[in-house]
Amino acid sequence: MKIEASKKAFQEAQELIPGGVDSPVRAFSSVGGTPVFITEGKGAYLKDIDGNEYVDYVQSWGPLIFGHRDETIEAAVIDAVKHGLSFGAPTLAETELAKMVVELFDSIDKVRFVSSGTEAVMSAIRLARGYTGRDDIVKFTGCYHGHSDSLLVQAGSGAATFGNPSSPGVPADFTKHTLLAEYNNIESVKQCFRDSKDIACVIIEPIAGNMGLVPADKEFLHELRELCDENGALLIFDEVMSGFRATLHGAESITGVKPDLVTLGKVIGGGMPVGAFGGRREIMAKLSPEGPVYQAGTLSGNPVAMAAGHAALTKLKSNARVIDVLNKRAVRLVEGMREAAAKEGITMQVDTRGSMFGFFFNEKPVKNFQDATESDAELFAKFHAGMLDRGFYFACSLYETGFISTAITDAMIEDTIAAASEIFKEVKNG
C-alpha cells in the first residue's frame, strides 16, 4: 500500500504543528510508521489522501456509533447550521438533549453541557470539591480523564501515593491533592482514605478504555461505593468513552452501582465536540448560577453539536437492540482473532462491552494498568502495521479501545479475522 502523499503531508505538518499532530497518539509513535492523513469517511470506511480505503475500527475514538456520515445525523447538522453556528445564548436544543440524557441515566437529575471530555471531568471534580468542602481526589493508574493539571499524574506502583506531575508545565502544587490507587484493587483505595481525611471524590472509568479495554469488577465497584459513603466522598463515573457505547443506560445499569456524578462525551455529540457532566439534584445545585461553584464556556451547548447529539441519541434510543447486535459482532471479531492467534501459538486476552472491544498480546488476563504494560508492544506494532497495510484501521496504541459501528458488517468482520490470521502466520514464520 502506497502512502507517499501521507508521508509528505506529515513532514509538512511537523514544520507547523508540534509533532505534526493535534493530539499525541495520532503520531503513530508507539506503533512506528507514518500516520495516514484522512480525507473522507463514509459508513465503515476511511479514505486517505493517497486514495487508500480502510475499514475503520476507531470511529473517531468512539463517537460514531452509526459510522461516518450517518444520514440522520448529517441532516440534523446541516439544518442546524442553516440557522447559525453559535449564539452564546440558551436554545431549546440544549433542553431537549438534556431531557434525553436525564431520562436514560438514573443517576443524573441535572446535566450541564461543555465542549470536551477534559472540560467535563475538570468541572465535575471542581463541583465535587465545592460540594464536599474538601481538596483531595483519588484516581486510578491507567485511567485517563483528560489533560487538566490535577489529573496529569504519573502511574504509581504498589501502595497508593500522592501523585507527582507526569508532564512538565504542571506544578507539583496542582497534583499534591491527587492520590493514586490501583484499578480493581480495593485495598489500595482504602490506603488512600487512611492517608487522607480530606478526600472530596473518587473518579474512575467503570469501563476503562484508556489502558485498553479493562472493565472494573462489579464487586470492586460495589466496595468503592461503600467506601465513598463511609467517608463522605463522592463517586464519579467517567463515561466519556463508555457512555452509550457499552450500554444505553450507563455502567450503573450493568454493575448495579450508582455514582454521584457522571461525565459524558463522544456519542452525545454524534461526532461534534461535546462533553457533559451531571448527577444528583442537590449536588448540581451547587453549580453557578444556582450555586457558588463557577463553571462557564462560550461554546457550551453549541446548537450544531446539540443537534448532532440529539439525532444520535434519538436514533440509538429507537434502536436500542443495536448495542446487542454490535456486541455480537465485537465478540465475533475478538474471538476470531484470538482463535487465529492461538493456532500460531500466540496468546491473546480479549474482552468486549457493548460496541467496545479490546485485546492484549499477553499471557495473563489484564486487570489493571500494570498488567497492560506487560503486553507485547512489539507484536502489537507488527499487527497494527500489517492490518493497516491490508486496509483495516485499528487504534495506533495498545492502550486504546476499538469500536464497532453499525456500518461494519459481518462480512467485514470475517475479512478482518482472515487478515489477522495472515499476520499471525507471518509473525510465527519470522
DSSP string for 92-120: HHHHHHHHHHHHH-TT-SEEEEES-HHHH
Side-chain half-sphere CA neighbours of 270 within 13 A: 25
Residue 164's pLDDT is 59
Residue keyed to cell 442553516 = 82
* Displacement of CA 262 from its chain's centroid (Å): 13
Spatial neighbors of 78 by CB under 8 A, at least 6 apart, are: none
Chunked into runs of 10 residues, the chain (430 residues) has average pLDDT values of: 96 96 91 95 98 98 97 98 97 98 97 97 97 96 86 48 63 84 96 96 96 96 98 98 96 97 97 97 98 96 98 94 96 98 97 97 96 95 97 95 97 98 90
Active site residue 294: no
Closest CA to 399 of 378, 372, 381: 372
**Which CATH number among 3.40.1440.60, 3.40.50.2300, 3.90.1150.10, 3.30.300.130 corresponds to the domain 4-57+321-428?**
3.90.1150.10
User: What CA–CA distance (Å, rounded) separates 155 from 145?
Assistant: 13
367 three-state secondary structure: coil
Enter the DSSP assignment of 149.
G
Answer yes or no: are the C-beta atoms of 275 and 116 closer than 8 Å. Answer: yes
pLDDT given at position 168: 76
DSSP conformation letters of 20-70: GSSSGGGG-TTT-S-PPPEEEEEBTEEEETTS-EEEESSGGGTT-TT-BT-
Q: Which of 131, 144, 183, 399 is catalytic?
A: 144
Give the torsion through C-alpha atoms of 311, 317, 321, 327, to 10 deg: 60
Please state the pTM of the whole predicted model.
Answer: 0.95
3.30.870.10, 3.40.640.10, 3.40.50.720, 3.40.50.300: which CATH number matches 71-318?
3.40.640.10
Active site residue 260: no
> What are the residue ranges spanned by the domains of the chain?
4-57+321-428, 71-318
Which CA distances in Å does 368 have to 63, 164, 234, 235, 405? Answer: 25, 20, 22, 19, 27
Cis peptide before 165 (omega within 30 of 0): no
Instruction: Give the SS3 label for residue 204.
Output: strand
Instruction: Name the strand (E) or helix (H) holding 287.
Output: none
* Burial grade of 149 (CB within 10 A; 0-12, 13-18, 19 or more): middle
pLDDT at residue 165, rounded to an integer? 63
Which residue has 493535534 as its cell numbers? 22
Same fold, 4-57+321-428 and 71-318: no
Judge whether 238 counts as a catalytic residue: yes
Catalytic-role residue among 56, 136, 238, 351: 238
Widest CA span in the chain: 65
Q: Which of 139, 266, 315, 382 is catalytic?
A: 266
